[in-house]
């Protein structure tokens, strides 16, 4: 984590929020998986949770979800914020009405997906909120930074949902050449050790999605949670055939939905218009997970997951301390002074 950085107020606020939490971790927004119950459980466990606005079947339900989440999070743990995720793609026709609800309920963090964060900036900054942009390439990261996003999340290869293409080592390094603001890493974060590894690469925090599918508070169907628990890295198939965007899908769910090898090579047209919650196959019967799926061994309440991650993170720090002492003895003691 960088300390001497030229940060503006929303960026300093964001890093302070991450430092105040149980871990520098956010539960990522997941279509048809994350809702208010998951977000409130995250706040109780001391981490920031988020849900996609599109998960609410209609705007009245979204209104009720946002009211409930705001009140429950504030009542439980005022220091922990919650985040709303918005589709900002031009074909998404609920955007303007969702933005009105953002103005009304003022989630501390608004994250944007599938387009430029520019569309939400004035509204969110208007009430002192923080805008976070998910990006899948250095070019997208630069555009989001130029558009005024406060926080960037690098969705790297192996991520669940609409996955990234780039290896996190290289991706973080490229973006850190021009971005000193708060930086999150998403993709296959399943263990506390992964969180520490992301920090060593240069990220400030992580977003974990798949890790929270098999939780008591997720909206995933029991069969989906069980499939996550029983699946491993090689059970994932990466294709554009299901939603039109490259994503990782669980092979048994593709097979059950009748996808053939040939269909998996096809590219579906991208379209977020209409009632996407009622989309027949994508997401509802075909289930997504990230490359970290093999590290999930049971369905558990969010509180237990966060406790396990924290214990593993603490253990990683202890191991690192021991390794560092040994490495310093071996290398620094033998190194010529410069
Ligand atoms: C089932 C599922 C649905 C997702 N839906 C969304 C979404 O609606 N909006 C979004 O920005 N990201 C979505 N994502 C991506 C996550 O926010 C996050 O980037 C990803 O889960 C991180 O990778 P991981 O699953 O390996 O932890 C989804 C991911 C999954 C697994």
pLDDT in tens, 100-126: 999 999 999 999 988 899 999 999 999
Cβ(290) to ligand 1 under 6 A? Answer: yes
Positions of E strands within the chain? 25-27, 48-52, 82-87, 109-113, 130-135, 151-155, 161-162, 183-186, 205-208, 236-239, 247-250
CA of 28 to the centre of ligand 1 (A): 6
The pLDDT tens digits for 42-93 are 999 999 999 999 999 999 999 999 999 999 998 876 678 999 999 999 889 9
Token output for 82 = 């919650």
Rounded Cα–Cα distance for residues 256 and 234 (Å): 17
Residue 3 has pLDDT above 60, yes or no: no
Proportion of the chain above pLDDT 90, given as a percent? 81
Cβ(194) to ligand 1 under 6 A? Answer: no
Cβ(184) to ligand 1 under 6 A? Answer: no
| Band of pLDDT at residue 2, cut at 50, 70 and 90 | very low
Q: In what order do the strands lie in the sheet with 161-162?
A: 161-162, 247-250, 236-239
Contact 293, 233 (CB under 8 A): yes
Q: Please name the helix (run of DSSP H) or strand (run of DSSP E) that holds residue 212, with its range, or none.
A: none
Proportion of the chain above pLDDT 70, given as a percent? 93
CA of 263 to the centre of ligand 1 (A): 23
Token output for 162 = 């609409």
* Sign of the torsion angle spanned by Cα atoms 11, 52, 61, 225: negative
Looking at ligand 1, which residue's alpha carbon is closest to its atom 11?
113
Measured from the Cα of 291, ligand 1's closest atom is 26
What is the average per-residue pLDDT within 312-321?
A: 98
Q: What b-and-e string marks burial along 209-230, b requiring 16 or more CB atoms within 10 Å of the CB? A: bbbbbbbebbbbeeebbebbee
Residue 238 has pLDDT above 70, yes or no: yes
Token output for 217 = 């508070």
Rounded Cα–Cα distance for residues 248 and 134 (Å): 17
The closest alpha carbon to 64, from 36, 99, 31, belongs to 36
Q: What integer pLDDT is reported at residue 302 of this predicted model? A: 98
Residue 200 has pLDDT above 70, yes or no: yes
Phi, psi of 209 (to 5 degrees): -105, -70
The pLDDT tens digits for 9-46 are 999 999 999 999 999 999 999 999 999 999 999 999 99
Contact 248, 290 (CB under 8 A): yes
Q: What integer pLDDT is reported at residue 1 of this predicted model? A: 46
Q: Please name the helix (run of DSSP H) or strand (run of DSSP E) that holds residue 302, with its range, or none.
A: helix 302-327
Rounded Cα–Cα distance for residues 322 and 236 (Å): 36
SS3 category, 77: coil
279 contacts: CB under 8 Å, gap ≥ 6: none
SS3 category, 190: coil
CA of 160 to the centre of ligand 1 (A): 5
Cβ(30) to ligand 1 under 6 A? Answer: yes
What is the average per-residue pLDDT within 201-225?
A: 98
Which residue has 């010529």 as its token pair? 336
The pLDDT tens digits for 261-305 are 888 887 766 555 554 554 446 788 899 999 999 999 999 999 999
CA of 243 to the centre of ligand 1 (A): 13
Cα-based distances in Å from 101 to 41, 68, 115: 22, 13, 19
Radius of gyration of the chain (CA): 20
Cβ(29) to ligand 1 under 6 A? Answer: yes
Rounded Cα–Cα distance for residues 233 and 245 (Å): 20
Cβ(155) to ligand 1 under 6 A? Answer: yes
Looking at ligand 1, which residue's alpha carbon is closest to its atom 8?
31
């Amino acid at each position: 984590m960088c300390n001497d950085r030229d940060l503006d107020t929303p960026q300093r606020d964001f890093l302070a929020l991450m430092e105040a939490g149980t871990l520098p971790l956010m539960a990522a927004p997941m279509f048809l998986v994350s809702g208010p119950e998951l977000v409130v459980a995250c706040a109780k466990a001391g981490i920031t949770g988020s849900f996609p606005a599109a998960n609410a079947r209609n705007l009245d339900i979204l209104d009720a979800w946002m009211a409930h989440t705001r009140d429950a999070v504030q009542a439980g743990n005022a220091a922990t914020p919650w985040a709303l995720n918005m589709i900002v793609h031009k074909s998404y026709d609920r955007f303007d009405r969702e933005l009105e609800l953002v103005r009304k309920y003022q989630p501390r963090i608004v994250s944007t997906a599938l387009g430029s964060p520019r569309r939400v900036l004035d509204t969110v900054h208007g009430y002192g909120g923080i805008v976070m942009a998910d990006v899948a390439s250095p070019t997208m990261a630069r555009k989001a930074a130029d558009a005024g996003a406060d926080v960037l999340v690098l969705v790297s290869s192996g991520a669940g949902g609409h996955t990234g293409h780039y290896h996190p080592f290289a991706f973080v390094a490229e973006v850190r050449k021009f971005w000193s603001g708060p930086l999150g890493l998403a993709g296959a974060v399943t263990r506390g050790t992964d969180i520490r590894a992301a920090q060593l690469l240069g990220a400030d925090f992580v977003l974990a999605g798949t890790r929270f599918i098999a939780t008591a508070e997720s909206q995933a169907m029991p069969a989906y949670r069980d499939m996550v628990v029983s699946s491993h890295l090689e059970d994932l198939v990466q294709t554009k055939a299901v939603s039109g965007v490259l994503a990782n899908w669980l092979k048994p769910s593709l097979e059950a939905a009748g996808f053939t090898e040939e269909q998996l090579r096809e590219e579906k047209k991208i379209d977020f218009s209409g009632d996407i919650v009622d989309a027949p196959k994508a997401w509802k019967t075909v289930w997504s997970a990230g490359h970290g799926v093999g590290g999930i061994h049971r369905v558990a309440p969010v509180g237990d997951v966060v406790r396990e991650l924290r214990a593993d993170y603490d253990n990683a720090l202890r191991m690192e301390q021991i390794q560092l002492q040994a490495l310093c003895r071996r290398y620094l003691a033998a190194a010529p002074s410069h």
